[in-house]
Structure 1
């Protein structure tokens, strides 16, 4: 069984290769093996922004990541259910909440924009995480608070899972490719732009 520590090391090494333009896992896959089962290293909750592609930025192949994407990487019932599936049935030990620079959904919430239709429900989920300061400050806080919510929910049920679970918030810089890892136990701090 994979540990969250080993899974995190795989992701950090993959992001390092991505930044150096030395990716090597994207095209490597065994369709026959993948058709039998999946065994992902991590769950990645991230934004559906087309510039945020976890398989690429972590240099992983098919079957390596259990990716949940929606605008603003918000957490609702469908996200909780998807995460439950990954940790309960796939024994995935690591959940990454991945915010990113230049997020349109967080920017809309930060600027108090009101949307029509379903977009407003997404912005409303982000509203409670908005802080004074820059959009990046709000992005960091939204990512951190979403990770805290997930971690609290999972801690209530840790005894039901075989594996030790860890939730880690992070910010992806779409300009540099760097992932800045955050500490879930601390307040959001300003993250360098690299």
Structure 2
């Protein structure tokens, strides 16, 4: 596990470079790997990302099972269950880094950007994204949604910082599905 958010960020950046250059893959696991995890989890980063089937943080950051605490939902929105999950990983697992990962071709942000009238439970997701939409482009809206979500998480965590033993950093990022590259939006 990473000792600091800086170390965790370096691991993620290095892992994405390995993925981009197809240097090596940590995705080959065996039963012995799983047995080592029975004692508990010790992830070095929390990744909040979209449930889009093309977004797999373990793959794009070239991480082993147990390295990442992944929270996925349509549009990578930060509702109460997501925030509770983040709090759990920070407070009880000591994870130092939270990444809000937007991605190209995001259907949920596209729906909000295009003012699509959706019904049912999906409407609540689009409504949460609406205030993050910018007029310029869908990609700009996706990036802004990740940035604004990261800022909201920071504000919501402030009252709980005294409960944490580690320094925590929340960073927005953008994953380009077509190139495989993760760009950091800080």
Q: TM-score range by the shorter chain?
A: over 0.9
- Aligned with residue 97 of structure 1, among 97, 100, 108: 100
RMSD: 1.0
2:77 equivalent to 1:85? no
2:41 equivalent to 1:38? yes
Deviation string 1:111-148 (CA, Å, 9 cap, x unpaired) is 00011110111000000111111001111111100000
- Aligned with residue 179 of structure 1, among 166, 170, 182: 182
Residue 158 of structure 1 deviates from its aligned partner by: 1.3
Map of 1:18 onto structure 2:
19
Which segments of 5 or more consecutive residues in structure 2 lack a partner in the other structure? none
- TM-score of the superposition, structure 1-length normalised? 0.92
Map of 1:57 onto structure 2:
60
Deviation string 1:22-74 (CA, Å, 9 cap, x unpaired) is 23211146111111111001000000000000000000011000000000000
Map of 2:9 onto structure 1:
8
Map of 2:121 onto structure 1:
118
SS at match of 1:156: helix
Q: Following TM superposition, where does structure 1 have runs of at least 4 consecutive aligned residues deviating by more than 6 angstroms?
A: none
Q: How many residues align?
A: 183
SS at match of 2:66: coil
Would the aligned equivalents of 1:7 and 1:94 in 2 still touch at CA under 8 Å? yes
Would the aligned equivalents of 1:126 and 1:142 in 2 still touch at CA under 8 Å? yes
Measure, in 1, the Cα distance between the counterparts of 2:144 and 2:153: 14
Once the two structures are overlaid, the 10-residue window that deviates more, 24-33 or 144-153, is: 24-33
Would the aligned equivalents of 1:14 and 1:23 in 2 still touch at CA under 8 Å? no
- Aligned with residue 155 of structure 1, among 147, 158, 181: 158
- TM-score of the superposition, structure 2-length normalised? 0.96
